[in-house]
Amino acid sequence: MMHIALLGASGSIGRQTIDVCRNHADKVKLSAIAVKDSVDFAIACAHEFEPDYVVISNRNLASNVSVDSFPATTTVLFGAENLVTLCELEGIDCVVNALVGAVGISAGYAALKAGKRLAYANKESIVIGGDLLMPIAAPGQLLPVDSEHSAIFQCLAGEPHEGIYKIWLTCSGGPFFGRTRDELANVTARDALAHPTWLMGDKITIDSSTLMNKGLEVIEAHHLFAVDIDTIQVLIHRQSKIHSMVEFMDGSVKANLCAADMRMPIQYALSYPDRWDASCAHLDWRFEAPLEFSDVDTEAFGCLALAQDAGRRGGTAPCILNAANEVANEAFRSDRCAFLDIERIVASTLDAIPSEPVESLEQLAEVDGRAREVAAALIAR
């Protein structure tokens, strides 16, 4: 039995992870869950799974929440510092990091240091802290949950690293695929959130609409698979059935295909190197739509190139990019900036702060904070 700590339990990845745990209750046990402030959700989960620990990371809720609402065998802790506590618990075998944004990095770092299997859905923290996380990850310890990266990981199984010629990172194109730059000037967050290809949270759905999500994924793949930014080629594939491909030096290409359902990559991060019965649909490929590919419209969508540039520069540039994007993404969702302002804010923040080599979590937190201030000031102007 694998004992799991699930961080970010009430989010989209968290809920789908819970579903996988439900389907495979003979193999995995949810022993700890963490939510930010979704107390009712945590209570329901605690009664279903009877975890040893529940963390509510918003400390301010401590006075409003009665621990009597939880099973007697569950210890309830308040405060974000307890996310790290969960990662270090003796009885935990695997940490699922489904936190959103840069805040997840200290938990990921602690889980790796403690020797736990780390199922990683918190792409922002690999983007900003890959230089710190990857050197302490043993082979097979850090399992990607991002669908594209799970696909690449599966394609690379048994292959020599030096055989990699190119990684084809697929991209659905997002809800605004096909629009011109002029047309993008007036789109709203509501437009973006209305038609996601994947069932995802709001932050990542907006990132998908700007293609910043794909830009972050390029940097994520660069760290996870130790390849240059320019070895990774983004490829528009609207059907989201191929989840990425790896091309080898001899011209052979491996692709990973399955339903567009996050429960597949989540489950594989738990089952690896084994395979378990599917938590997603088995597709009948005779009746699937033709698979189509095209190039990215980099004229209309500027965020991808910003991320590629930051990835090439390395150091703290991805941290600055990510922090500015988190602030601009949030501002767009609350109607405080326009769609095309997102890339302007990110570009200006990158210009305002010099990149330096990554040295520590404290340094990243400091750079992250500085970039957020610059981005917020640009929005206020």
Select from 1-9, 140-148, 225-233, 328-336 the region that touches Mg ion (CB under 5 A).
140-148
Phi, then psi, of 353 in degrees rounded to 5: -120, 125
Nearer to Mg ion, 57 or 147 (CB): 147
Least separation in angstroms between residue 312's CB and Mg ion is 21
Least separation in angstroms between residue 149's CB and Mg ion is 7
- The count of other CB atoms within 10 Å of the CB of residue 262 is 26
Q: Which residue is nearest to Mg ion (CB)?
A: 146
Select from 2-10, 84-92, 143-151, 169-177 the region that touches Mg ion (CB under 5 A).
143-151
Phi-psi region of 297 (alpha: psi -120 to 50; beta: other; left: phi over 0): beta
Nearer to Mg ion, 33 or 167 (CB): 167
User: Does residue 146 belong to the site contacting Mg ion (CB under 5 A)?
Assistant: yes
- The count of other CB atoms within 10 Å of the CB of residue 345 is 25
- Per the structure block, which two tokens stand in for 317? 């540039």
Question: If we measure between CA atoms, which residue out of 97, 53, 116 comes closest to residue 79?
Answer: 53
Q: Give dist(CA 216, CA 187) in Å, integer.
A: 22
- Per the structure block, which two tokens stand in for 304? 């991808």
Select from 91-99, 103-111, 141-149, 311-319 the region that touches Mg ion (CB under 5 A).
141-149
Least separation in angstroms between residue 3's CB and Mg ion is 27
Element holding 255 (H helix, E strand):
strand 253-257
- Per the structure block, which two tokens stand in for 162? 């030096």
Nearer to Mg ion, 265 or 302 (CB): 265
Least separation in angstroms between residue 155's CB and Mg ion is 15
Q: Give dist(CA 356, CA 132) in Å, integer.
A: 14
Select from 16-24, 82-90, 132-140, 147-155 the region that touches Mg ion (CB under 5 A).
147-155
Least separation in angstroms between residue 233's CB and Mg ion is 16
Least separation in angstroms between residue 70's CB and Mg ion is 34
Nearer to Mg ion, 148 or 247 (CB): 148
Q: To which residue do tokens 């307890």 refer?
A: 82
Binding positions for Mg ion, rule: CB under 5 A? 146-148
